[in-house]
Amino acid sequence: MTDDTATNKQREHRNRVLKGASIITGVSNSEITCTIRNMHQGGAELRVGADARIPERFLLYVPVDGIGYRSVVRWRRSDRVGVQFEGTEPKPAWHYG
């Protein structure tokens, strides 16, 4: 399988979504608002402010799902960030959503 074929197969399995989410950093539980553009079992593509400072690892909380995804950044391009999920957590107790 060539790299192009592998990339195309990976993209086929991504479900296009439009979900609001919060990137929760380890610094005093601060949040960065983002939008999930596509999502699959192993990760997602996020849209963030182009000047947003996104840490390499964070909790991505998706209120509509009621789930926090432990995430690691795999790539960045302008206002887009690709993340890989490393596990899930329940809704943070302090979060209002």
Which residues, at least 6 apart from 58, have a Cβ–Cβ distance to it below 8 Å? Answer: 23, 24, 25, 26, 71
CA 90 – CA 96 distance, rounded (Å): 13
Report helix, strand or coil for 42.
coil
- Tell me how far apart the alpha carbons of residues 69 and 88 are, in angstroms, rounded to a whole number: 4
pTM: 0.79
Q: pLDDT tens across 47-96, in order?
A: 999 888 999 999 999 999 889 999 999 999 999 999 999 999 887 775 56
Domains annotated on the chain, with CATH: 3-90 (2.40.10.220)
pLDDT score for 30: 83
